Amino acid sequence: MDRIAMGARLMIVSDLDHTMVDHHDAENMSLLRFNALWESNYRHDSLLVFSTGRSPALYKQLRKEKPMLTPDITIMSVGTEITYGNSMVPDDGWVEVLNQKWDRNIVTDETSKFSELTLQAETEQRPHKVSFYVDRTKAQTVMKELSECLQKRGLDIKIIYSGGMDLDILPQGAGKGQALAYLLKKFKAEGKPPGNTLVCGDSGNDAELFSIPEVYGVMVSNAQEELLQWHAENARGNPNIIHAKERCAAGIIEAIGHFNLGPNTSPRDVADFMECKLENVNPGHEVVKFYLFYERWRRGEIDNCEAYITSLKASCDPTAVFVFPSGVERTLHECIHRMRGCHGDQKGKQFRVWVDSVLSTPTGSSTWEVKFDKWELSGDEQYCCVTTVKLNAKGSSASAGYTWVNVQQKWLEGFEKKDDSTWLF
């Protein structure tokens, strides 16, 4: 919550399904590429906002299925719910806005008269959203008649149709676009508007996001016809909105580069970290770089080279200690030595490592405490450790790199590894 009040260098507002998350990408590679870029270059001074049509229940389910980052702000249920942080603290001011000229009981009464509407699951029915399925061929007629009925009953509502089947009824003041406008107005009133905002989407319920003035927008390459048609009718020629060549999260990375919003090379696209030189070195990049190296080492994607081991040891204080989740302590040099024996042990297997919520705090003129969640996917199992790392600058500034002084981990509840005797980092 403190970071939200700081004023973001960049705010990315992204839809989830088929935008940030590619359900046709079994390896989740575009998502993992975005994750590495965000945590290494943006997390410390920018805001990540997920804007989804999913209810809280389905949103949490998706997070269990995919290697998603923790957003700073979550807009759910087609813009009817705004929450903050990992604990998802609701925005009470937004609730007050949506209560105006809205009566859920009247909505359910009137919609029950339309046989063409099929009610969606109970989890998708929210205080300010009533959701149905309707056949594409009947959607326009139903929307027109239903809108007239509800207007006669004194309600001020909007109906959003997306995905060729989903029909959502919301208060007129709701929607992904209005939720974003509310946030931007709130930040501006506090004197902390984001430096730039990039909105990202693929379907009809994302169209409102692109209507907000002074934002950049990217329709990912796999955007649905309904969004492309909206763009052709309403925003053709707008240089601040592009149709990406890349799918999903890769299209978001493409847009960051197209609009010159900041670094757009994901650490996952760097072949050799020993040759990688950053203009703006930061603790987040150091952490991302190490765990990507660790993943590649175990997948056998880099050579079993003594130079790598020597470089790792040189980045650790000789007395540096690693505290395992079980409480066992070993020196970092011991842990690096143990890595020799596991080179390529995950070759050809579904093994991925990523970090989430990397936040660093200066503890001195050249020292930092870095906290993050370290995730490891092995087959169908996911494990997570809440990790704290202490880093020292190697030289008079961080541009010379970092020395690892201490690492401490504890299991995240619900994601423990039963046998951690083979746990390395």
Instruction: Judge if 232 and 278 occupy the same domain.
Output: no
Q: Is the pLDDT of residue 1 over 70?
A: no
Q: Is the pLDDT of residue 151 over 60?
A: yes
Average pLDDT of the segment spanning 99-116: 94
Question: What pLDDT is attached to residue 280?
Answer: 65
The domain that contains 346 carries what CATH number?
A: 3.10.450.50
Q: How many CA atoms lie within 13 A of 100 on its CB side?
A: 8
The CA-based angle 10-11-14, given to 5 degrees, is 135
Asked if 282 and 263 count as a contact pair (C-beta separation under 8 A), the reply is no
Last residue of a domain, one of 171, 192, 222: 171
Residue 334 pLDDT grade (very low, low, confident, very high; cuts 50, 70, 90): very high
Asked whether residue 130 is domain-assigned, the answer is yes
Which token pair is 299? 């997948």
pLDDT tens by residue, 32-68: 999 999 999 999 999 999 999 899 999 999 999 999 9
Instruction: Judge if 167 and 179 occupy the same domain.
Output: no
Last residue of a domain, one of 110, 136, 171: 171
Domain range holding 183?
10-89+175-267
User: Structure pTM?
Assistant: 0.92
Instruction: Judge if 260 and 343 occupy the same domain.
Output: no
- Kindly state the DSSP code that residue 124 receives in the 8-state scheme: G
Question: What pLDDT is attached to residue 279?
Answer: 60
Q: Is the pLDDT of residue 400 over 80?
A: no
Average pLDDT of the segment spanning 169-194: 94
Residue 27 pLDDT grade (very low, low, confident, very high; cuts 50, 70, 90): very high
pLDDT tens by residue, 244-254: 999 999 999 99
Which residue type is seen at 96? E
The domain that contains 32 carries what CATH number?
A: 3.40.50.1000
Asked whether residue 204 is domain-assigned, the answer is yes
pLDDT tens by residue, 199-241: 999 998 899 999 999 899 999 999 999 899 999 999 988 999 9
Question: What pLDDT is attached to residue 394?
Answer: 84
Which residue type is seen at 284? G
The domain that contains 163 carries what CATH number?
A: 3.90.1070.10
